[in-house]
Amino acid sequence: MGSPPVIRCALEGWNLNLTGRIGLFGGTFNPLHSAHLLVAEAAYEQFGLSQVIFIPSGIPPHKEILSDVTREDRYAMVKLAIAEFPHFSVSRIEIDRDGPSYTIDTIRALQGDYPQGLCFIVGADLLLQIETWKEPHELLASVPFIIAPRDGIEMDRFLVPPFDRARISFLEMDEVDLSSTWVREQIMSGGGIPDCVPGSVARYIEEHGLYQYREPVHAN
């Protein structure tokens, strides 16, 4: 991954007090890799969260899923990867939901369960696509966001609408330069499972023969 520069919150007052909140960390996790764990751990430690809940998407609206990998596979891989972290958990809320997995629906469904408050952990690249998400303005207003830096994305891109009214905090960590897409490509090309995949997840991939086919599907 190298050692890219750190994006820091240079604007006084941007980083919010999120102590005690629950961090929701959504994604396809196809598969989960070390950068996912690093981001979750950084959010937990830097903002004093009470826990981080990983939320694998059931049917992601913006991504295709390989036909040999089911939603249950992705859920199982997350569960295995976080087993050593007592402050991490995984939710089935989107895995069990019919239809596309929309973040705003998940937040609305969970808000009443956590009176200590929620926040949402997301990569800078994904948040920049917010206008393509369901009810983007309502989503930005619903909870604070913790942003993980991504290679080449400057913080000032979140100073303009629609982000100017959102509650945004930035993680102080190396820019994330690792993707599940790259991991899958390595396996498909015969390069083996990269070291950035946790051992328990690598064993699951091997035992179930995952990522051997390229045919994409939207639902699984």
* pLDDT for res 3: 33
Sign of CA dihedral 190, 191, 197, 202: positive
* pLDDT for res 107: 98
Q: Where are the domains of the chain?
A: 24-210
* pLDDT for res 6: 32
Q: Is 24-210 in CATH node 3.40.50.620? A: yes
CA 173 → CA 8, 115, 206, distances in Å? 8, 29, 31
* pLDDT for res 66: 63
* pLDDT for res 5: 31
* pLDDT for res 40: 98
Calpha distance 131→19 (Å, rounded): 29
* Mean pLDDT by groups of 10 residues along the chain of 220 residues: 34 70 97 97 98 94 75 97 98 95 97 96 96 96 96 91 93 91 92 95 96 58
DSSP string, the chain: ---PPBP---STT-S---TTPEEEEEE--TT--HHHHHHHHHHHHHTT-SEEEEEE-SS-TT--EETT--HHHHHHHHHHHTTT-TTEEE--TTTSSSS---HHHHHHHHHTT-TT-EEEEEEHHHHTTGGGSSSHHHHHHHS-EEEE-BTT--GGGGSSTTGGGS-EEE--SBPB---HHHHHHHHHTT----TTS-HHHHHHHHHHT-S----EES--
